[in-house]
Structure 1
């Protein structure tokens, strides 16, 4: 994809740069979701694209939540900060989990740099508020490395809460908080503050909102992300008639040939 596509944020606002705290945070969250999906849900495709035999490659996340492995921008200096260069070279020389964690660390750094590039004209208080909003979300590295899950297991005395079939009903999440995924593809819907309680540590896969027992949530049986019912247009009554729910992302994903 060309530089104009990257500058426009891949459809995130018609080419205009985000200017308010809310718009910059929305851009940050979308790019973060894209990076997270590349390193978890789409990890096999991402891994295959990072061929060490190719030239210096970068991982881009866009404001429409699409991700791309591509060569860096040709213009110097670039209009936006660029992600880490040459992530593909170390792929075969490290353990897969360590390599993904390394990519996650560099991606977190890039996400912050893009956000504060846009935030350069904000006031001191607005920059502080933006950072607080960003810091309320776990970093990609925390999700990929499983730091959050390890802390939760320690606090729960080693009890495994990963089984989805342990819920009385997948659709009655008003009474039971959505579980964490404990596999290698760590989900992004996990909170950050250790003192917030279990219910506040799950994020909606669409809007990034924090779990609330007062709202209806539904979990995807394919990717195991959780969503506000209103975000995916599913009501409690409709959910009861669904045997296997697939989120919009999984429904639109084509099977590999």
Structure 2
């Protein structure tokens, strides 16, 4: 009981695989165990819920294929899935809103129609509705990875003139011929000058070019 209370207080969970599991069963998506970090609780839960839905749909597809569902059975399965709210819809509260809208629409249709005929089926498709917060967090993650890769690349890049690393706020310029990087101050090029240069050649490349023509 103490362990349970500790887990509740920390507000954490982890999707762990059982000791035995069919190797062909789809594995949970990495987003299910996404670390919260500085995310708002609601945004984090929405992000995890969306990935959980994706995994559950993948498992449904797997069993449908495993048991040889034909088109009609698959359609029936998908309609059944769509009859209940997704995890994301339950977390964000859209499931309650949709239920109210559906009830209102049904009552309106019944008041207009006196027919007792029943229709089975209908168009079915699986829809995972990502909230605006989830999309924003995905964009943040992509931007973060790009920044990390750029920072790592900058740390490994040395100025061909002085041999030093990139420093924050420094202006660098790349030679369009040899594709090597230089501190602007090392090759006496400022940002203002660079804006008027269509193709920059470093001192070494300019020297080699003059040598070829002499």
In which range does the TM-score fall when normalised by the shorter chain? 0.3 to 0.5
Q: What is the TM-score normalised by the length of structure 2?
A: 0.38
TM-score (norm 1): 0.32
Which structure: larger Rg? 2
Tell me which protein shows more helix as a share of its residues. 2
